[in-house]
A and B are shown apart, each in its own frame.
Chain A
Amino acid sequence: MKKIILITSIVFIFGSCDDFLELEPQQSLPSSTAFSTAADLQTAIIGAYDAAQASDFAGTNITMAPEVIADNGDWRGSFTSYRDIQAANIVPDNVDVEGVWQNGYAVINITNQILVSLDVIEDPELTNDLEAQLRGEALFLRGMAYFEMVRFYARPFSANSGSDLGLVLSTEPINSPDQLIDLTRSSVQATYDRAIADLTDASTTLPLDFIVDGRANRFAALAYLAEIAFQQRLYGEAANFADQVISSDVFSLVAEPNIPFINEFSDESIFEISHTIQDNPGVNGSLATFHHVNGRGGDLVISNDLIENGFDQIVTDDQQAAIDAANLTVEDLRVTQLTSNEVFNIEKYEDFTNNADNAIIWRLAELMLMRAESLVRLNGVNMESISLLNEIRLRSLRITDASDNSVSGDGLITFSTTDFGSSEELIEAIILERRVEMAFEGQRYHDLVRLERSIRGTNPGADNLVWPIPLDEVNSSGIEQNPGY
């Protein structure tokens, strides 16, 4: 009997060991202590970039979705989410609509965690420079997220923006589900203001010399400020911000238009989302999957509209006649280098093998065209605008003689003030140039909205062009859905 008692006791002592139930996860840490040192925050900011890097956000969709909505490309892939986006017939549980929203708010939340933690932690490792860098990067990413999202989920910026529904503005870290009760949407104006405030702070906080591939820098923040002003049709501010980037002389146009896409992080590049062989959106979400599948044609292919009203119009009839008369040939490298399969496929994103094309968010050419257009709108036909435009054209339009030797295009394909009878004509020339130069880089929809031009037959701001708030968001937090859904 004693033996039994002994055995029993041993068994029960083993069984009641509380440590046995105290297990810790092996690839996670408690969130309560994760943001407490300088090293933690340096890891956290990478997590914020990773959230932005998701194909659902800046990795692919920030670049591709505006092109799917607009008129440069035809969607012919099997993903019904993009098919419906192109048809402006979106269901509230569209997976891409949900993906942009989820990853956008993931960026916002982790940057909130970082920004709040920067104010409270005391760590000698957190030098002033490091603090400025982390704060600037966090502000940049948060401002970027708010701005990119408000353009999809809310009515375009207008005189009614003070009352049009914007985003849920969150600036505090979320640590408990209780903080998610009673969420409400702010106005479009308030969302823009938030983005402007964040990016303005970022543009002054980020150390001037912090220019690292794939990371935010002061000029990327200025580029966003330029774009925000542009979108608001505040052309003076847009011209000014664009000029701060252009005249910094940190960036320069590269020799040929395909170089930024082949040699990523080129001299022209201001901010890119980095993808590598090991870290990329994979075959179901990469830019190359959608734009360039070897031989087959991607899911998004070049539309006839882009060919006829874009590529084919770049060289004016007068210019073509002069070139023909001189027995010369003109070639647009943006067509010959960056398209294939009889101008069907987009070759800006060609790394189908590894799905590792970067998403170029800002490059110098766009800022130049933005300043050019803004200046015309401010000052009418002017030399600076024309020379910015010519610079872009000269890089891509190659003129050759009969024996295939390059001939300077100056005067042949460049413009002068006398070519334009009105500001409107010059503005149209810049918009055309912008359409071709920036094709499939995520600008076309936003341009058409700003210009208040029809998008595949629908006017900007129509209910069915504004994305729905994802169904799961409405169901879980009860925030107000957009009209028409």
Chain B
Amino acid sequence: MKRFLLLFIIFCAFLFQKVSAQERSISGRLTSTDDGSGLPGVNVVLKGTTVGTVSDIEGNYKLSVPAEGGTLVFSFIGLAPQEVEIGSRSVIDIQMQSDVTELSEVVVVGFGSQERKKLTTAVSSIDSKAFENIPVQNFQNALQGRLAGVNVTAANGTLGSPVSIRVRGVSSINASNQPLFVIDGAVLNNDTNPNTGAIGSGLGRADGTNPLININPNDIESIEVLKDAAAAAIYGARGTNGVIIITTKRGKLNQKARVSFNYYTGFSEPTELYDLLDGEQYASIANRAYTEAGRTDLLYTLGSQPNTNWQDLVTQNGIIHEGSIGITGGSQSTSYYIGATHRDEEGFVRSTRLRRTSVRANIDQVVNDKFKVGLSVNPSRSENIRQNETGNVASPITYAALFFPNVNAFDENGNVRGGVVATENGDTQFPGTPLVNLVDQDIVLTTSQVLANGYLQINPTPEITVRTEYGVEFTQAEQLRRTGELTTDGFGSGGTGAAQNNQILNWTWNNTIDYAKDFGQHSINATLGASLQKGEVTTQFVNGNTFADDRLLTLNSAANITAGGGLGTEFSFTGFFLRANYDYKGRYLFSASGRYDGSSRFGSENRYGFFPAVSAGWIISEESFLNTNSTLNFLKLRTSWGQTGNAEINNFASRGLVAFGRDYDGAPGFQVSSLDNPSLQWESASQWDIGLEYAMLNDRIRGSIGYFIKTSQDLLVNRPLSFVSGVLPDASNNFRVDPTITENAGEVRNRGFEFDVSVDIFKGKDFSWTFNFNGATLDNEVTSLSDNNNDGEPDDIVFGGRRLIREGEAIGSFLLVRYAGVDPDNGDALFIGEDGELIANSTPGAAAVVAGNPIPDFQGGFTNTFQWKSFDASIFWQFAIGHQLYRFESTFINSNNLDFNQTTEVLRAWTPENRNTDVPEVRINPASGTFALNGGQNSTRYLEDADYLRLKNLQIGYTLPKSFTKDASIRFYTSIQNLATITDFNGLDPEATGQGVGAATGGDLFFERPQSRTFTFGVNVNF
């Protein structure tokens, strides 16, 4: 954008250097309505003549006009043009409004940029304005609902939780489905796979934290998403899931320093919590079951049961603050952006807090007319005070839902109870209580990161740009964990302590040669380049137990060191690419690209791959038959085809290996951990895309509509191996991992329509109303799978017993036995058997059916933006429909198993007096006194439609009058996140992916913490 601006200024200066010498002089200053700053480089032309000038750095202009005056036209790219009658005035100051229409934008496309008007591929972009002042934790959340075909979902509402992003659907079974993240040209580590070095792994769940948490949204100028293969093919083997390109803010040459300061504060609360039994309700339901089974020895004394609402005890109103400052400016040869942000957010779960401090300096220096250099440095540090992940029973919300309500949280002295806490009849769950786990447990993940980029750009001739850029990411993540001896995890061990340290070094070196030249009506732009990337991860960890005192925090105080170790892994990529864009008459557009990629991750027989793409566009509105049409001012048809790859698998998945560390009685041992597959290669996806972009009624209605078909072949499939193979894959924390071999097999097709439209419904001086709407449909189908057991049928792949990959079905469909309600005669839970017969309390595997899938058929978002005098408001809704989520937690809290607390649904349970109900009878096993299985099996009982419409953000602002603030602008605002949700989903939050943010099998929820409702109040100051 800035480079373009610079060129434009130079261009304009040439154009208008001949100023006609005439009768009278007009001068004035051009300022921005945004912040009152002077606008340089604006064209000032006397209408109907060639008389004109451009404004200087301060925004001043001076022009001689004929004595009779006339009309001045002020125009500049990105600003709304204005026409002003000169009349008798000699000084005309103009405030100009920015008018970034999509068409005039310059879009970053990876190793270069292009004018949106001439783009022949599907690229969505979002300007930082869209998420300014919205209290998002990270830039990924800011994308939610904003871009057609880009599905953004947080794993859950935990602070720092990872975010799942799906660009045009789910196309991979075992490789990651997360897009590639590129910041200022350097590929970021977004790894959540513990086997390849995820940060913070080993907390009950591998994908516990967001590896991109340190990226500061305030530093971001724009985010581009390369959606179709023709756009993403320039990233070759890593482009299939789309590419998210982050461009940070940079200064402009010849610009006075501008300071932007922003502060907000507020609080957050959970959007929803479980509706659980209280102490008396729990006891009376349990008593009925005990009585029925003749175990009167276990009866609770009704009327005197303690009542503890554990959810209340572990939640709070979390306070949030964020302050940021950004300064941009530039001299004739140097431009800069310097930004700093400090953010401090408490979660609605007590004892969770995320603090982040980040500084960024981007400096560009024009050395001479041929050389330009730049350097960016972005140190940051975040401290994430966590609790156990939701998959761990000791996680606050999880255990608060499970734990007995009829026990006291505090002893008679007011101290928090811990260790073994039993109900009146001696029933116990795990040691520790939800509250003591918060109080006596510390988990702190500190991530220190430095991102740095440098580039050198040489223009030996005006047409040729040679650029080399080197970007490095250095991340150190240290997690310290200490659990007291009365907590679930520390009980019986005298407290436990653990320290883990990950170091990630990841660098990208890009070298490009760019050639751009116009030959009359022909215009050519070609880019040739090479890119190298290498990533290294090392991990060290130490665990200990038996602490003399819970106040001692470090492992030095542990009597036993119970485990320790170190791991390292690495990967590398090389790529060579060429892209050529050609247009004729500025309206017939062609582009072709190819990339030749190699990676260490693939088998020796298939280490390199080639990824081609072609695309074309036709700006129909510039044809003679349309260019006079006053209704339709822009119309472009574009189509593209391309191939991309997906290489996101384990670093050494192609190798037959024996793994060490398989020790016994102090002696070192190894075991076979994988079988050899030297032919392993990347997944490749072919994608065809067609789109129409339009603007009409003087740009008041603008948008695009498109359709794509994306077919992913040679899927990287971790095919389950027979256990007879004897393969024992690497596992963490004593968790057993099934043996698999990574193979290329199968095909998945995604197709869908995407659209976005913006309408200036009303555009006046005092009032304006703009409506944006974007949406995308998605149809996902597994179109081919291999037959490995030679039965002549493609083999299903089933994950975790209920997630199905089957030919003809959507990827990750739910495979479940059908629940048929309750037998009114006896209270048995009924399920539908293989031949349609009703079966009580048995889950025959063969009777499971495809019952739904978690991929929304249609999703998107819409925003209404209002401006009335000094007030502004925006209302952003986001929705997803046509998908299902599985409430796995319900196999505990909706299972009639009162060994755990239940939701109030169980109050409807079958009794002889209440025979017509959908909740089976609560029963115990008479011998053991434990609760019996009656309907709590995995079944369609817990699968639900998860359609929702959510008022994601509501923001109201007031800008102080200019007369009061002079050159500065001051705006106060209030913003509410997740104000309201319309849904029939009975779980906590329909907006959750559950485990495995990169996986094909999202949508399986286990006590996922809900999103927070956040109220903030803030101020922006610009001067």
Contact = CB atoms under 8 A, between A and B. Distances in A.
Nearest to B929: A76
Contact of B723 (A76, A105, A283): A105
B736 interface: yes
Contacts of B789: 181, 475-478
Interface of A: 1, 3-4, 7-8, 11-12, 14-17, 20-23, 25-32, 34, 43-51, 53-56, 74-76, 78, 83-84, 87, 89, 91-93, 95, 98-99, 101-103, 105-110, 112-113, 168, 170, 174-177, 180-183, 213-215, 274, 276-279, 281-285, 293-297, 303-304, 352-354, 470-473, 475-479, 485
Given A21-B599, A293-B492, A296-B420, A4 B722 contact: no
Given A15-B575, A78-B393, A354-B560, 10 more contacts: A15-B531, A31-B674, A50-B662, A75-B930, A91-B801, A109-B724, A109-B726, A294-B420, A294-B492, A470-B723
Most chain A CB atoms below 10 A, which of B570, B724, B739, B791: B724
B567 A177 contact: no
Contacts of A106: 671-672, 723, 726-728
B491 interface: yes
B655 A25 contact: yes
A101 B652 CA distance: 26
Most chain A CB atoms below 10 A, which of B532, B575, B728, B929: B728
Contacts of B571: 23
Contacts of A30: 655-658
Contacts of A110: 671-672, 726
A274 B669 CA distance: 14
Nearest to A31: B656
Contacts of A22: 600
A29 B532 contact: no
A49 B727 contact: no
Interface of B: 393, 419-420, 422, 428-431, 458, 460, 464, 466, 468, 489, 491-494, 509, 511, 513, 528, 530-532, 534, 545-546, 560-564, 567-572, 574-576, 598-600, 607, 651-652, 655-676, 719-728, 733-736, 738-739, 741, 788-791, 795-796, 798, 801, 842-843, 845, 899-900, 925, 927-930, 933
B492 A109 contact: no
Shortest 4 CB-CB distances between A and B: which pairs? A109-B726, A46-B669, A47-B669, A477-B722
B529 to A, nearest CB: 8
B728 A177 contact: no
Contact of B660 (A8, A27, A213, A281): A27
A473 B845 contact: no
B726 A174 contact: yes
Most chain A CB atoms below 10 A, which of B491, B655, B673, B789: B789
A182 B789 CA distance: 8
Contact of B726 (A89, A108, A475): A108
B287 to A, nearest CB: 19
A176 B675 contact: yes
Nearest to B673: A28
11 contacts: A4-B458, A23-B571, A30-B655, A74-B928, A78-B429, A93-B845, A108-B724, A177-B719, A180-B725, A293-B431, A477-B789
A99 B739 CA distance: 11
Given A50-B664, A485-B845, A182 B930 contact: no
Contacts of A89: 842, 933
A101 to B, nearest CB: 5
B665 A279 contact: yes
B660 to A, nearest CB: 6
A331 B674 CA distance: 54
A98 B728 CA distance: 13
Contacts of B460: 1, 3-4
B545 A46 contact: no
A475 B720 contact: yes
Contacts of B598: 21
Given A177-B675, A295-B419, A27 B567 contact: yes
B662 A4 contact: no
Contacts of A98: 723, 736, 738
A56 B723 CA distance: 14
B236 to A, nearest CB: 13
Contacts of B489: 283
Contacts of A475: 720, 789, 795-796, 798
Contacts of A354: 493, 545, 560, 562
A277 to B, nearest CB: 5
A34 B675 CA distance: 13
A47 B657 CA distance: 13
B238 to A, nearest CB: 15
A295 B668 contact: no
Contacts of B735: 284
B723 A353 contact: no
A279 B666 contact: yes
Contacts of A8: 466, 511, 513, 528
Given A4-B464, A14-B532, A353-B494, A472 B720 contact: yes
